Structure 1
Amino acid sequence: MAFSNKSCLVLATILMVGILIFSQQVSSQGECGGALQGLLNNCAAFVTKFGPQTDPSKACCDVVKAADVPCVCQHIPPGAELIVSMEKVVYVANFCGKELPHGTKCGSYTIPPASSFEIEE
């Protein structure tokens, strides 16, 4: 299915409105040492439900490395998961060196246990 320029503009507008609403909910909570706003500003493109999973930018990783990611996961506002993929959030955290333990909840997503086929070092 091909998207027209108008469809892409509408989708981008909806995405930005959703991110702004999410940002407003998050910043009003004042949780996690203020890291949520920086994460939204630098990592939103890498955690939206729209589009493929991609490696985050250095700017995104810099913010992730400084953030309390478990705190962020515990304070995902209701409705945010309509636009934010928790699986991508976990991927970005892991990629940036902030691996979350198996069984940790990030929003409604629970990080699955390690596969029994993985080789432990």
Structure 2
Amino acid sequence: MRESNMVGSDESKSKYSIVCWLILMGMVIATTFTAAEDCEIDLRGLQIECLIYMHIGEPSTIINPNKRCCDVIQQANLPCCCANLNRKISLYIYIYTAYPPGSTIEDLLDWRKVLHTLNFCGKPLAVGTKCGSFTVPPGPPPKR
């Protein structure tokens, strides 16, 4: 009898361990999805509020961003955004621009304008930071 109590106890511990691991894995997965969703919201906010200041094309001059763009930049998880620039641009951008379907966010960016916008809004990327396929070069920020 005594051995069966010990076996039952080991089985209970084993079941308890499995349940704990499942709960832990669920928490990790939920956190990952939440982070991805937060980053998706940041990317959309940057596309909607800031793309006009950072896109390739006209105007070719650098323009200081407005407060709404800077607010989005201040709240954005820039490392996550940099890691996800290979995502396709949103339907909203296709409708209002001439960018072909299948374009990625990175395809739209003029890095000279991007660096200026981030610097202007007080959230510059450090030298050597990799953002998409772009690496922030050493030297002064881009000139207007």
Matching residue of 2:12: none
Which residue in the other structure is 2:98 paired with? none
Q: Helix, strand or coil for the counterpart of 2:42?
A: helix
Match of 2:47 in 1: 40
Give 1:75 deviation, angstroms: 1.1
Could you tell me which residue of structure 2 aligns to residue 95 of structure 1? Answer: 120
Which of these residues, 56, 71, 81, is aligned with residue 72 of structure 1?
A: 81
Mark the runs of 5 or more structure 2 residues left unpaired by the alignment. 1-35, 88-103
| Identical positions, percent | 38
Distance 1:86 1:74, change over 3 A: farther
> Could you tell me the TM-score, scaled by structure 1's length?
0.62
After superposition, the CA RMSD in angstroms is 2.0
- Listed as ranges, the matches of 1:110-121 within 5 Å are 110-114=135-139
Structure possessing the higher radius of gyration over alpha carbons:
2
- Any stretches of 5+ residues in structure 1 without a counterpart? 1-28, 116-121
Residue type of the alignment partner of 2:55: T
Note the C-alpha offset of 1:110. 0.8
Deviations 1:42-93 (A, max 9, x none): 1110011112211111110011011111221121016333322233222211
Separation in 2 of the partners of 1:77 and 1:33? 12
For residues 48 and 59 of structure 1, the distance between their equivalents in structure 2, rounded to whole angstroms, comes to 17
Deviation at 1:100, TM superposition (A): 1.2
- The 8 Å contact of residues 70 and 100 in structure 1, kept in 2 or not, is answered as no
2: CA distance, partners of 1:105 / 1:45: 22
Distance change >3 Å, CA 31–CA 62, structure 1 → 2: closer
SS at match of 2:72: helix
- TM-score, with structure 2 as normaliser: 0.53
Q: Secondary structure at the match of 1:76?
A: coil
SS in 2 for 1:53: coil
Paired residue for 1:49? 56
| Counterparts in 2 of 1:77 and 1:30: CA distance versus 1, 3 Å | farther
